[in-house]
Amino acid sequence: MQGVRCLVGIAVLCLAPPVLRAAVPPDPAGWQVLFQENFEHGNPAWTPYVDTPTPWNVEDDGGNAVYSLDDLSFPRFNYVTAPAGPWSDFRYHLRVKLFTGVFGIKFRHQGCQGYYVEFGHGRFTLWHIVDCSGPHPIVSMGGGLSTGTWQDVDVLLTGALIRLYVDGRQLLAYADPAPLMLGGIGLQN
């Protein structure tokens, strides 16, 4: 079984112009913050996918509260979803430190449908889940997250267009011909 160790800093769903690196385009005028989690108040109310104790926990990383996944025994595809949403067009911003294994970011997730980006082993893959039939890879390529360092990850969703950025560098711009237009956010191992 693949071991996973990662920390998630601030998970923010922004519909307002955040301070981001210059390469990430600004949000459209009028967007506002709809959900924000800094994990400073202990375990958040994120909902686990399985009915067993979740391997996600809040811990301290140099004086900052972070949501930690230390998953050496849980099945792959264990995930948590945020207690807010669904939304259509939005920016999903996270600070992530990956140590080992694979880490995923879910978005426009609703029931057993949605998208997720999986990072690990020097690659990233964009997956699409439609009609509860399991994940289908859309694109997979080198790049993604480095291990052992904090990185900014942004997913910008406008209509059918999905854009992915790591530290302000665009990794992906994909227009889905049959897009899922509404859903929430989550984190996945």
* Whether the predicted pLDDT of 38 surpasses 70: yes
**What per-residue confidence (pLDDT) applies to 39?**
74
Q: Is 99 left (phi over 0), alpha (psi -120 to 50) or beta?
A: alpha
**DSSP letter, residue 186:** E
User: Residue 170: pLDDT above 80?
Assistant: yes
pLDDT of 72 > 60? The answer is no
CB contact burial 97-135 (16+ within 10 A = b; e otherwise): bbebbbbbbbbbbeeebbbbbbbbeeebbbbbbeeeeeb
> So what's the pLDDT on residue 132?
78
Digit-coded pLDDT (tens) for 105-160 = 899 988 889 999 998 888 899 999 887 777 889 999 988 888 888 888 999 999 99
Per-range mean pLDDT, top range of 14-18, 85-89, 126-130, 146-150 = 126-130
Whether residue 57 is predicted with pLDDT greater than 90 in this model: the reply is no
The residue with greater pLDDT, 74 or 27, is 27
Neighbours of 87 (CB within 10 A): 19
In the predicted model, is pLDDT for residue 51 greater than 70?
Answer: no
Residue 95 has pLDDT above 60, yes or no: yes
Q: What average pLDDT does the structure give for the chain?
A: 77
